[in-house]
Each structure stands twice: as structure tokens, then as C-alpha cells.
Structure 1
Amino acid sequence: MFQIDLVAQCKANDRKAQMKLYDQYCNGMFCVAMRYLGNKDDAEDVVQESFIRAFQKINQYKGEVTFGAWLKKIVINKSIDFIRSNKRRFEELNESIHIVEDEDWNVPDGTTIKAIRWAMEDIPVKYKSVVQLFLIEGYDHGEIAQILNITESACRTRLLRGKGYLKELLKSRNYVTGS
């Protein structure tokens, strides 16, 4: 069955079609939520809430993007809302941090994705969200600004600072060389 047919059936409140879409996307959306939350139970809760929200708002889905992309945006927003509501690791901006330009990054070939993700866990949430949305999810500044309800200028600043934090963390853990 085609995805468009499933979505149409879901719009008609067909529970079997909803279950098929759930089965098709739940694992991928769980991975997205895990990247933000880092906790299996929290990620499972956010995925469940995201599917409920998606099925409640499915009539707003116009097919301009794939259903998966539309659902992924819901999962990301729910993950960010979860982080905000639980006040996880919020830190005030440390004005003394050295902001590093992209060309200063020298990541050795041996640096693993695991090491980068591990270092990302220690980035303040307001920067981590922007870095994840930009580097991992592939959103542009306009999309990130809309998702996080910030200006594009704030998005660019947070991305630059977030990358600075990430570089310093990797450098302190001997993953990055250079100044």
C-alpha cells in the first residue's frame, strides 16, 4: 500500500492504517528522539506523544513534504519541548568562551561519531539543539529559527557558539587538534 493511501485512510480515522504508519516510522522516530533526549524511556514517551499529535493533526498534513519529514518535525519539536519542560542542563551563556570559526576545526580521521555525540551531551541545551538540527538533521537557519521560535541571527550565533563548545570539548578530550 502506498504511503499516500495510508495517510488518506488515517485522515478517515482508520486505526489499521494508523498502525501501519506507526510500524513504518516508529523505529526511525525513536532514533531521532534518542539523539535529543539520550534516555530510552523519555524517547519512547516523546515518540508516543508525537504519533498521537500527528494523528490528531493529520488533516493539516498537505503532502508538501514526505509524511516522514512532517512527522520528524513533530518529534523534534516534542523532544525540545520535553527538554524545556524538564529544565535539563540549562546553562547561562558564558561570555568568556572563545568562539571558533569553522576553518579552525581539524578533526582527525580516527574521531568517531560516538565521540562527537558523547561530547555533544555536554553542550548547553540552547546550543545543542541548534547544532543537532543543523549538523545532524540538516535543517537550514530559517527552518531552525522557525522550529525553535528564534531569529535567524540568534540561530547563527547559537550555531557558532555551539560549534565552539563542541570543539573545546573534543579538544579537551584529545579528539581535535589545532588552535
Structure 2
Amino acid sequence: MKLFTKPKSDEDKLIEGCIAGKREMQRLLYDLYAKKMMVVCLRYAPTTFEAEDIMQDAFIKVFNNIQNFKKDCPLEFWIRRIMINTALKHLRSKQLLTVSHEAEEVANLSSGEVSLSGYTMDELLSMIQSLAPRYRMVFNLYAIEGYNHKEIGEMLGISEGTSKSQYSRARAILQSMLLRQENNLKEHVISN
């Protein structure tokens, strides 16, 4: 009796090619994920230049460690995690994860909810990038990546309570920015 084996998927072939060091397969993997991963890096980095550096370093790690990839999670998730960890390491090395002194601004913020439907991805990304590094990290990790505050605390070397507090402040600052933009738009429409 002959046993049937499941044919290899395109992803399996891609991974095997990268493990074997085949440049064309590495290029294919890079091309497949670069745009999505650049968006991840831009959310963490203060500038596009730094985001590009982070992504470059992270893809080197991906290629150097692809033999360790286990199929218990999607490849994209595994790559994203490397991007995030590389971004955090980069920001730690630049000492950009120090505590911010935006308490005065936070104290004056409105707690009103704002609709995001009128904003482009670039506008929202720009607002997130304008946050102080610590707030930006916590906001991205919690609101976008889905980590809980305990995990964030462990990743950033802060307490769970500090993570919650910084997320709350980041959210309030972003809401304030959105409210200011909405008010500016309303004033512009009224004056015309």
C-alpha cells in the first residue's frame, strides 16, 4: 500500500529555498512581505529612514533564522514579530524609550470619541509617529498588535500598570489630535 504525501505548498517551497540560501527565494519572500512590514516599522520608528533601517535589520534576522520557523503560526506573524522586536531593540539602543513629560498636555485632553473614517492611513500613521516613543510603543503593541499589558510590560521592562497608563495617555493624545483636526476642518468649512 502506497502512502500519499501532501504536496508542498508554495510557502513551504519558499521557506526551504530561503533555508538553502537561494537568493531568488529570499528576494521573493522580501517582495511578498516588505510593504506590510514597512508599515509595521513605520508605526514604531520616528522617521522613515529609521523604519527602513529597522526593516533591513529585521529581514536579515528573518533570513538568518528562517530554519527556526515552526509552522505552528503563520509565516507573516513570525516575520511581524521579528520586525517588532527589532524595532524595540533599535529604540532601546537609541534610548528613545525613556519616560515622556507630556503630563500637562494629557491633563487637558478631552475624553470624547472621534471617528477615524475621514482620515487616510498616512494621516493616522503620522499622528501615531508624533507620539513620544514610549507612548507610541505601548499604543502600537496594545491597540494594533494585540499584546496585553502584562506582555507589553515584560517587553519594555515596565510594570503592567505603567503600560496601562501610557496606553491611556497615548489614546487621549491621539483623540485630542483628531479633535483638533476636526475642529480645524469645521472652522475652514465655516469660513469659506
TM over 0.5: yes
CA distance in 2, matches of 1:109, 1:24: 28
2:119 maps to which of 112, 115, 122: 112
1:36 maps to which of 38, 41, 44: 44
Q: Which amino acid aligns with 1:106?
A: E
2:160 is aligned to 152
2:187 is aligned to none
What are the Cα deviations for residues 114-144 of structure 1, in whole angstroms up to 9, with x where unaligned?
A: 4443333332211111112222333333443
Q: Is residue 2:93 matched to residue 1:62?
A: no
Q: Which amino acid aligns with 1:163?
A: R
CA displacement at 1:111 relative to structure 2: 4.3
CA distance in 1, matches of 2:158, 2:108: 20
Is the radius of gyration larger for structure 1 or structure 2?
Answer: 2
Output the aligned Cα RMSD.
Answer: 3.1
Structure 1 gaps of 5+ residues are none
Q: Which moved more, 1:46-55 or 1:113-122?
A: 113-122
Retained in 1: the 8 A contact 2:112–2:175? Answer: yes
CA displacement at 1:49 relative to structure 2: 0.8
Q: CA distance change for structure 1 residues 137 and 94 in 2, over 3 Å: closer, same or farther?
A: same
CA distance in 1, matches of 2:113, 2:39: 28
Structure 2 gaps of 5+ residues are 1-8, 185-192
1:82 is aligned to 90
Corresponding residue SS for 1:139? coil
Q: Is residue 2:112 matched to residue 1:98?
A: no
Retained in 2: the 8 A contact 1:50–1:74? Answer: yes
CA displacement at 1:94 relative to structure 2: 4.5
How many matched pairs? 174
Q: CA distance change for structure 1 residues 55 and 83 in 2, over 3 Å: closer, same or farther?
A: same
Q: CA distance change for structure 1 residues 141 and 2 in 2, over 3 Å: closer, same or farther?
A: farther
Where do 1:137-148 residues align within 5 Å? 137-148=145-156
What are the Cα deviations for residues 67-109 of structure 1, in whole angstroms up to 9, with x where unaligned?
A: 11111111122222223333458553455543979xx432146
Q: Which amino acid aligns with 2:59?
A: F
CA distance in 1, matches of 2:158, 2:13: 36
TM-score normalised by L of structure 1? 0.76
CA distance in 2, matches of 1:169, 1:16: 44
2:3 is aligned to none
Q: CA distance change for structure 1 residues 26 and 115 in 2, over 3 Å: closer, same or farther?
A: closer
Q: CA distance change for structure 1 residues 61 and 151 in 2, over 3 Å: closer, same or farther?
A: farther
Corresponding residue SS for 2:25? helix
